[in-house]
Amino acid sequence: MKYIFVTGGVISGLGKGTTAASLGRVLVSRGYKVTAIKIDPYLNTDAGTMNPFEHGEVFVLEDGGEVDLDLGTYERFLDTNLTSDHNITTGKIYLRVISKERKGAYLGKTVQIIPHVTNEIKREIARVAENSGADIALVELGGTVGDIESMPFLEAVRQMRMELDSSSSRSCLFIHTTLVPEVGSVGEQKTKPTQHSVKELRAIGIDPDMIVARAERDIEEDIKAKISLFCSVPVEAVISAPNLQSIYGIPMLLERQGMADYVLKKFSLPPGEPDLSDWKAFYAKLTDPKYSVRIAIVGKYTELSDAYISHIEAFHHVTAATSCRVQTTFVESEEIERKGADAILSEMDAILVPGGFGHRGIEGKIAAAGYARVNNKPYLGVCLGFQCALIEYSRNVLGMKDANSTEFNPDTKYPVIDLLPEQKGVNDKGGTMRLGAHKIILDRESIAGRLYGSESVMERHRHRYEVNPETIADLTSSGIRFTGHSDNGRRMEVAELPTADYFVGSQFHPEFKSRPQRPSPLHLGLVRAALKQKYGITF
């Protein structure tokens, strides 16, 4: 097993995950099997309870793991399905160590950060990497060098290099991502932040093998030479990472600079023959579309675009598939409550209402669904957006003025959305959550069935409340079609309004499994419907 450890310096948010994922894509193109591990130095055991305003989207994996959004980047770039084990947190590590201590596993020894916590970190990294069956494991260390929370992880990977590298063979490689800012009116690129960041890393005992220099534009050759000199890495190991039109162009950027060649040479592995032709074709279509549509994302966490990053990426995948640029506009659902849906949504070509939790902004989401239905505006409701569409329909078509979800009004006269009988009485809220991939049976003659081209699919979930079985008959008798359900028939998964050009809701999250060459079918259907209405284009 070969390990590539990716660290970051100067500031957070430099794109360590995107850099690592792009390198992984290039290595895959060389014929290597690559896996990814994300280390997050927070005490939460997972990302499930984190506020999207603070941490961005909670990404859900096949096995139900609620993880950092960077794992979504890895899945999209590597075209793979990861597990919750691929997200290692301080909380997970400490929980294991304390549990072992309580069971007497340390034989009366004083339990310390070194060696007990660091040994647990090393074991976990090696276990996940080896179980993946990959040739190379990319390990991203969250945070920045110098953060107190990251110290045990940096010490652990330092020890891994000592233990795994031999005099004749390298098993560990360190890539440090850092910032090269421009200061002054002349736009001079400054290397001092990089020098200090590398100095901090060396103080821990880690010498970087490569430096990825993030900047507004290409790193100048003399600046590369300066970084090489002061940070003791070869010039060819200083990689320029300027801002691009799209992150999907980064694999080609790294390939042009010989990053994979350098890595494989360090590992004494055959260079292989790169084949990024499919990726290049995707990128060409993504960056040169012929048409454009405007889609409103009506949400509750719109101040931070990362809260809906999987939807944004799904639309990028759709852009390449349709030659139509999707211009997303974030609309705060509470703004609709104040100003009305017509004032905000009338200029949009389609509407997406994504998932969320809690009562705030719900009436705005319901109003957005109603505006789409009344005005035949292409609509996709995901998770809570699916439920809001059914609540709106019950209120304004069936005449159930009090219709609601018991999540928001436990005393509603018409609980269209409710806990199923088997969920009631469960005191642990986590025990009522439906997480991860579950089988869905589709009506092949429905919109969803045609888009998926299958009678059954596996899609990921993250919700607690369901369509109330007692309301299904009323909804279906008045026009709603439930065209997807769980394999036991108990849970409604897809709802459609046949009288509309495109009015679809899914209880699951199709955005989590969208890939560059395989866009989410329901997002694809939304954009196609908008294209048909705006340009008369049919597919």
Residue intervals of the chain classified under CATH 3.40.50.880 are 289-418+429-535
- In CATH terms, 2-281 corresponds, of 3.40.50.300, 3.40.50.150, 2.30.38.10, 3.20.20.140, to 3.40.50.300
509 as an active site residue: the answer is yes
Q: Is 140 annotated as a binding residue?
A: yes
Spatial separation of the C-alpha atoms in residues 76 and 245, rounded to whole Å: 18
Give 264-273 contacts, CB < 8 A, sequence gap 24+. Answer: 264/27, 264/30, 266/170, 266/173, 266/209, 267/2, 267/136, 267/170, 267/171, 267/173, 268/169, 268/170, 269/2, 269/32, 269/135, 271/30, 272/30, 272/31, 272/32, 273/30, 273/31
Task: Spot the catalytic one: 383, 438, 459, 463.
Answer: 383
511 as an active site residue: the answer is yes
Stated pTM of the model: 0.94
Furthest C-alpha separation in the chain:
77
For residue 519, what pLDDT is reported? Answer: 98
383 as an active site residue: the answer is yes
- According to DSSP, the residues that pair with 292 across neighbouring strands are 325
Length in residues, the chain: 539
Peptide bond into 41 cis (omega under 30): no
Q: Is 356 annotated as a binding residue?
A: yes
In a 13 Å sphere around the CA of 72, the CA atoms on its Cβ side amount to 26
- In CATH terms, 289-418+429-535 corresponds, of 3.40.190.10, 3.30.565.10, 3.40.309.10, 3.40.50.880, to 3.40.50.880
- Please check whether residue 134 is in contact with residue 150, taking contact to mean a CB–CB distance below 8 angstroms: no
Tell how strand 172-179 and strand 415-418 pair up.
Answer: unpaired
Residue intervals of the chain classified under CATH 3.40.50.300 are 2-281
Q: Is 16 annotated as a binding residue?
A: yes
Residue 326 CA to chain centroid, in angstroms?
18
**Sequential pLDDT tens for the chain (539 residues):** 999 999 999 888 888 999 999 999 999 999 999 999 999 999 999 988 888 877 789 999 999 999 999 999 999 999 999 999 999 999 999 999 999 999 999 988 999 999 999 999 999 999 999 999 999 999 999 989 989 999 999 999 999 999 999 877 899 999 999 999 998 777 889 999 999 999 999 999 999 999 999 999 999 999 999 999 999 999 999 999 999 999 999 999 999 999 999 999 999 999 989 999 999 999 999 999 999 999 999 998 888 788 999 999 999 999 999 999 999 999 999 999 999 999 999 999 999 999 988 889 999 999 999 999 999 999 999 999 999 999 999 999 999 999 999 999 999 999 999 998 877 755 554 557 899 999 999 999 999 999 999 999 999 999 999 999 999 999 999 999 999 999 999 999 999 999 999 999 999 999 999 999 999 999 999 999 999 999 999 88
Cα–Cα distances in angstroms (integers) from residue 479 to residues 55, 452, 495, in the given order: 40, 22, 10
Q: Is 453 annotated as a binding residue?
A: no
Spatial separation of the C-alpha atoms in residues 408 and 32, rounded to whole Å: 49
Q: Is 2 annotated as a binding residue?
A: no
Q: Is 355 annotated as a binding residue?
A: no
Q: Is 18 annotated as a binding residue?
A: yes
Can you state the percent helix, strand and coil of the chain, rounding each to 5?
45, 20, 35
